[in-house]
Structure 1
């Protein structure tokens, strides 16, 4: 360019400025674990820039510990939220300070590497339990569940304030998610279950009618922001995020878990119970609790210990259908849901009278001199 100034269309003085500006730069690679991710060029979340001066230039320092603080504050318009997340968690960020001759401005560029997140199988992620998280308009309700779907310990709540400016709201969301992920690390859990909420089409007047307060509440919930921030921040902590179906989690959680988990020292809210329901659904367990056995001397002594369906049973989350027929033991012969099969009752002589495929029925009938009868006619109920 120096030998072709006419072709470029610039003068020698302008070329000299560009040549010097190309050498007016300062760059420093970041290091994870250092304060704000870089020890040489340190940039705080509020935009303050300080530079660590070498030993011969420490006399020029205007800040503590031999650092030089710039008067101007900076801000990042592009991916500013991701930069703040890395700075607050002390992850490595590389900076480069350079001068733009054409605009006459100094610029600071931040860069970092995002390593690929390894995809863990769901069974491996849920091996140490799961933390169910219920997202609300002003807080996150979380509860840890063991591998069997039972809540352990006490519920945790991470509040945030969504009033004020946009940077304040973003900072509140990041602070709440950071505390949630750090608590998950201390608990040794590698999976967090959240609801797959999407209110883009569910906050209209046609959906909720005249419920203005409810529409305002739904519109104020930062579901998209929380989900995107939680996904990016959880990958850095090595935690898997499991999205579950949000259908009836709050209703069934309050119905089956709120009252049993309440005690004198702990007041369980509806949101805490919803967190338990979300965690159980992520693990593949039904939300309903085990039904207590009936009292003694009612049905077969103690009755069945549980009526809980297995994880692979279809329709386990649906309402139980009513079994037709009478509910008492005083049933006439040939009536009831299992009138033709009395084998579960384990009565004497039942196997010899019901095994018609082997010819036992005909042999028994010939010895008694009578015709073959059905199982419902041969066996009469025991009163």
Structure 2
């Protein structure tokens, strides 16, 4: 078709490269909490100082400056704590640089859109690919002022990028800004201060292979005993040998506990982090480790037993099962979730919907799930959609990145493959070719259900359209097959139809007499057909 963009090829999403599990530190004594708070506050101050030094270095950072910072931290803590702090600093600085580059790209896209719309006559209609002119002179004037503001922001951001300057807030910029809106956040100044200090603590340690239980700084033994290596100025708080403090809590990981036990028994590296949930007043310990890179299965292997096509929406997943030929099987399935409320509630809703989807996939016998490779980065800007605030809010609320990461992780645990497809035209073509043919009085087909079929067929390598154009010549099967749904070896695909009666068309009855007289009727009815017919809208011959 003319004007359609080129579709990218489908691919199998690589599996997760790391694992993280968490357990609560129960039955901590008041002394345990005082020690953890003291260690977190002390090491948090060291981390803030090191981050400030790294941001000051900018592009002048080198291995020598890194070594100098680490030597300075080692003198006031330990070599392992110094290594963990400097590594966390470098990760945070690199993340800030990536966010800075993404901000510049977003400003570029907004400036380009504004310049295009300002160059058009007022009131000119747009197209599906590009927006039109503004509606009035007043709107044109306001957008021209916004263009100037974006250009100034872009100039400042590019200058900071070239100078290597980043803006980082330990504890989070959102929580920092909450300090000015305590009434709206329903927090007192003391409650906000407690959250702010807890977020700026540093109670983390990287693992080391070959060391006891995989970590010398924050150690969890096979029987669940947790202990912390105290920095040198706080060594007087130790209650065990070699400057360690043993907590009264016992760790028992319910999720992936056997895998974790195998690692620490073999003294393989595990990273640990202790943090406080101020709202609940609970302490947690999170441990994580890396997995070796697992070779994903080939795309043809994932397609062998069909796929489950999934269309992601703002409140549900619309799924449809397809066989390897692209034929829909059964009816549509919908898995609903609610993305309102707190972040924890939204995450639990998405996790529950994905769990039901994975269970149904296993019951259906499929080994792959096809999903769109969604990225709304360019579509969420106010310059692109203007007054369509509801649509911008809708696509901004869809957790595409977190959803993809969680789905890949959960599917890998179940032995299922995730096939990512190009999202272009799936909803439009699905509704055009599949919604009406599959709708029955007992089966209601929505646009999203039809999009799930389109996604699944694209993952299988089939065209989205339900039927191909008839062959040339006399429109018969002499030049090729008329349908693209059934495979070459499917029985009954192009077999001849048996006669509807025991006489040739137009011939007399076997007895030579008419069975009944003709009757005048104003309604023309087709005679009922008794020939065998392959059920389903996709394997029909014509």
Q: TM-score, normalised by structure 1?
A: 0.53
Distance 1:195 1:187 in 2: 21
Q: Does 1:265 align with 2:442?
A: yes
User: In the alignment, what sits opposite 2:285?
Assistant: 109
Shift of 1:225: 1.7
Alignment of 1:174-213 (within 5 A): 174-213=351-390
How has the CA–CA distance of structure 1 residues 303 and 273 changed in structure 2, closer, same or farther, with 3 Å as cutoff? farther
How has the CA–CA distance of structure 1 residues 299 and 226 changed in structure 2, closer, same or farther, with 3 Å as cutoff? same
Distance 2:421 2:345 in 1: 29
Distance 1:124 1:193 in 2: 14
Distance 2:233 2:298 in 1: 61
User: In the alignment, what sits opposite 1:17?
Assistant: 239
Alignment of 1:305-344 (within 5 A): 305-306=481-482
CA deviations on 1:179-238 (whole Å, 9 max, x unpaired) are 111111111211111111111121112222322222221112121121111111111111
SS of corresponding position for 1:156: strand
* Residue range with higher mean Cα deviation, 273-282 or 173-182: 173-182
Distance 2:431 2:416 in 1: 27
Distance 1:145 1:214 in 2: 31
Unaligned runs of 5+ in 2: 1-230, 259-269, 275-280, 487-542
Distance 2:353 2:273 in 1: 32
User: In the alignment, what sits opposite 2:394?
Assistant: 217
Shift of 1:29: 6.4
Shift of 1:247: 0.6
Distance 2:455 2:407 in 1: 16
Higher relative contact order (CA 8 A, sep 6+): 2
Shift of 1:111: 3.0
Distance 2:313 2:232 in 1: 61
The answer as to whether partners of 1:288 and 1:308 remain within 8 angstroms in 2 is no
Unaligned runs of 5+ in 1: 1-7, 40-93, 99-104, 311-383
Distance 2:402 2:282 in 1: 32
Q: Does 1:230 align with 2:407?
A: yes
SS of corresponding position for 1:259: helix
CA deviations on 1:98-144 (whole Å, 9 max, x unpaired) are 9xxxxxx9965343556544410111111110000000000000001
CA deviations on 1:214-272 (whole Å, 9 max, x unpaired) are 22211121211211111111111111111111110000000000001101110000000
The answer as to whether partners of 2:237 and 2:245 remain within 8 angstroms in 1 is no
Normalized per residue, the structure richer in helix is: 2
Distance 1:9 1:111 in 2: 24
Shift of 1:16: 6.2
User: In the alignment, what sits opposite 1:253?
Assistant: 430
User: In the alignment, what sits opposite 2:298?
Assistant: 121
How has the CA–CA distance of structure 1 residues 209 and 185 changed in structure 2, closer, same or farther, with 3 Å as cutoff? same
User: In the alignment, what sits opposite 1:164?
Assistant: 341
User: In the alignment, what sits opposite 2:522?
Assistant: none
Q: 2:455 aligns with which of 269, 278, 286?
A: 278
Q: 1:140 aligns with which of 307, 317, 337?
A: 317
The answer as to whether partners of 2:326 and 2:485 remain within 8 angstroms in 1 is no
SS of corresponding position for 1:260: helix
Shift of 1:290: 1.2
CA deviations on 1:265-309 (whole Å, 9 max, x unpaired) are 100000000000000001110001115869xxx946678752759
Q: In angstroms, what is the RMSD of aligned CA positions? A: 3.8
SS of corresponding position for 1:134: strand
Alignment of 1:41-60 (within 5 A): none
Q: TM-score, normalised by structure 2?
A: 0.39
